[in-house]
Chain A
Amino acid sequence: MLIFTLRRLSLFVFTMLLLTLLSFSLCFLFPGDAVINISGAINATPEQLIQLNESYQTSRNIFFQYLAYLTHIMDGNLGLSMASQSVIGHEILNLLPATIELSIVALLIAMFVGIPLGFVAAIKHNKPADNIILSVSMLGYSIPVFWLGLLAILTFSISLGWFPSAGQISLLFEIELITGIQFIDILLSDSPYKWQAFSDATAHIILPACVIAVAPATIFIRLARTSMIEVLETSYIRAASAKGLTFQQIIFRHAIRNALIKIIRHVGLQFANLVTIAMVTEVIFSWPGIGRWLIVSIDQRDYTAIQSGLLVLSCFIFVVHILTDFIYAALNPLARGVKYGS
């Protein structure tokens, strides 16, 4: 297990290095001066420019420039936003937790709805239930998310009035920022309206999270269905049934765990897809997250913000990917041991 952890960590370090290399190369690929792209100081005086050139080591060769860029990132200095001249590091720290919250909730909804439905479809293979679940999943997968989001707002917030249509929480509640994750902050705060705030935040997150979850959930349905069908045909399931276990015992003791192993790897892969959908959804639901901020930055040609936003988002996706790898290892004894040639 230790070796497995070390392997994942080294993979993390090297992938992060590659990602910084990519975002570093972006400042040369964007139009304009590389130093200004990287620092975002568009209104700098000549003295400040000289100082910037020195701190990013533009006089030396590209390797040292990259090292200087890395040290800036390590210090948490991601430059200034070209559009607003505010510090990008602070903005990201304020916005990223909202996106993490939204995408994790959406991922959980997608998993808890999609995977059991897929299992049901596999158990009822070639029966009406299977066909219904499959066609619904096909339908869900083909609906474009921006249209679905607008439709959801139209029905659930405007016609029915069940859920609010925009924002993360009603402006009436004042919640102090501690961790950035809203639900945790609400629980930590000592406001007398704590539980009202909590239910209000829940009502706000349901609609966008469900809209994001639709497409990944349909993919999980298909993955869960195929892997469960595969597992049910293996000889150890047949042996278990010859052993005298009932069908339920076979499903819950043997089949689900083995099917989950095959799915859990794809969850990490699907997460990147989910974050992309979340970015669009944040715009529709005015969710104060990093996705909306990034799309606005792209609109405003805010190169510094684009660069750092991409770096932070991909870092987040990669962390989730590694976490799913650990869950995979916890479920699968074969992945934990030392393997040669892998």
Chain B
Amino acid sequence: MSKKFWETLPQGSVVLEAGSSAKFKTGGWRSMRPRWIEENCIQCMFCWMYCPDMAIKATAEGKRAEFNYDYCKGCGICALECPGKKGNKAIVMEEEGK
């Protein structure tokens, strides 16, 4: 986003575009990276419900899709809450960049 100066900003500190924070990517904060293992996923959607960064995509049918790494901050809530299948977690945390 280009820099704006006070002359060009809307008056009264209003933000006219709803949901514009989507232009600010927070994925760079991450030090741990979650990985989704689809065969262990039971589609419980708990990870989607508990993600504080809305970084888990859902399909039009309401099913879980891949992570949105542009916004995932790598907190690991999804991996901890994942019930998995037969004791195998469907989300594992890995060190970023490895």
Answer whether A and B are interacting partners: no
Residues of chain B whose beta carbon lies under 8 Å from any beta carbon of chain A: none
